[in-house]
Amino acid sequence: MNQRLDRINHFLDGVTRNRREIVTPEGVVLETDVANNGERLTAFLIDFLFWILATILLYLVFALLAVEHMSGAVASTIIFLFAFLLRNLYFIHFELTTQGSTPGKRIVNLRVIDRNGGPLLPGAIIARNLTREVEIFLPLGLFLTMPKIAAGWSFWLSASYFGWIVLISALPFFNRDHLRAGDLIAGTMVISMPRRKLLAELVEAQAKYVFTRSQLDAYGAFELQVLEEVLRRPPSEETKEIQRQICGRICRKIGWTGSDPSGDALDFLKAFYTAERAHLEREQLFGRYRSDKADQSSGRK
């Protein structure tokens, strides 16, 4: 079952993902796609950009309203305090109110879930986000604000902060679920929820490309596998030409009388692949297996 799901996901997404089964408290097994490090880093950088923009806006508003009545030290302290609160409340607020997704995660199609399959509790969200301060922001802030290296102890102290950042940042590379320290402490993980364009296209194409039983009976499992390999080919002009040729052959073989699919051969082939696969699997359930288009036997198992 897992091999079949991996194959389908590779066909739909174009990549092979690290999958994990999670058992809910009700005993339901859910299969999830673990978010990879690149996706998580992209989502974090997007959120970090949003936070920087919000901080700059806050700084400008505060500067216009209050700084002129305060000393520089007091103003800086207040600004840093508000930046700290905004940074943490940004992640905590969005993950609490949008079921484990920040704006960056939504753009990259990621979501935080409980590793044990239970509900994502507020305590876990707060813990995983406050831990980010110790993981990244605190040592990074200390490293950036370190005075100029003038003595040996300053170098080693600065190096220790930098080493801390590197070690903590590298943690997701050393576990199969790409968990950072906050996830380990909070019992959470980040999963990928890709919007599979293929599925939406197939739904939209149902009215345009509808195949009859006799048309689907024209091919067997071997031809379906060949078609799948064609659909896996990297995009190129050569691939498009091959797809157009195969589309024409299929149309002639099944006696296609609908709209001319030559302009969108890839959509036609995807729709035909999905319909043919479902047809062959349904036939196999009734003991009718067809190995290829030349196999005319019935009741074969």
Indicate if 164 and 58 belong to the same structural domain.
yes
Q: Are strands 29-34 and 188-192 parallel, antiparallel or unpaired?
A: antiparallel
- Residue 46 near residue 104, CB atoms below 8 Å: yes
Do 279 and 236 fall into the same domain?
yes
Q: Count structural domains, the chain.
A: 2
Asked if residues 147 and 97 have their Cβ atoms less than 8 Å apart, the reply is: no
Domain endpoint, select from 192, 212, 241 = 192
Which residues, including other chains, have CB under 8 Å from residue 191's CB and lie 6 or more apart? Answer: 32, 33, 34, 35, 110, 111, 113
Q: Among the residues of 22-121, which ranges form H helices?
A: 37-65, 72-97, 103-108
Rounded Cα distance between 172 and 44, Å, is 14
Q: Do 94 and 155 lie in a common domain?
A: yes
Residue 77 domain flag: yes
Angle, CA 159 vertex, CA 155 and CA 160 arms, to 5°: 120
Residue 292: inside a domain, yes or no?
no
Same domain? For 180 and 218 the reply is no
Segment 171-227, tens digit of pLDDT: 888 888 888 888 988 899 998 876 544 444 444 555 567 888 888 888 887 788 788
Name the phi and psi angles at 127, rounded to 5.
-65, -45
Shared-domain flag, residues 27 and 175 = yes
Same domain, 154 and 23: yes
pLDDT for 46 equals 93
Of 157, 192, 227, the residue that ends a domain is 192
Confirm whether 296 is domain-assigned: no
Say whether both 31 and 162 belong to one domain. yes
In a domain, 300, yes or no: no
Residue 18 placed within a domain: yes
User: pLDDT (tens digit, 9 = 90+) per residue, 36-68?
Assistant: 888 888 999 999 899 888 888 877 777 776 655
In a domain, 223, yes or no: yes
Residue ending a domain, among 135, 159, 192, is: 192
Q: Give the single-character DSSP code of 17.
A: -
Q: What are phi and psi of 153, to 5 degrees?
A: -65, -30
Q: How many CB atoms lie within 10 A of CB 301?
A: 6
Residue 264 counted as domain residue: yes
Let me know if residue 95 belongs to a domain: yes
Domain co-membership, 237 together with 185? no
Nearest CA to 128 among 148, 112, 150, 108?
Answer: 112
Domain co-membership, 142 together with 182: yes
Q: Do residues 126 and 23 share a domain?
A: yes
Query: Roughly what angle, to the nearest 10 degrees, separates helices 221-232 and 2-13?
Result: 50
Domain co-membership, 206 together with 279 = yes
Give the structural domain span for 253.
Answer: 197-285
Identify whether residues 208 and 268 lie together within a single domain: yes
pLDDT of res. 188: 92
pLDDT mean values, one per 10 residues, the chain (301 residues): 45 57 66 83 91 83 65 68 81 88 90 85 90 74 54 62 73 84 89 60 58 86 79 81 89 85 82 83 70 59 40
What is the pTM assigned to this prediction?
A: 0.56
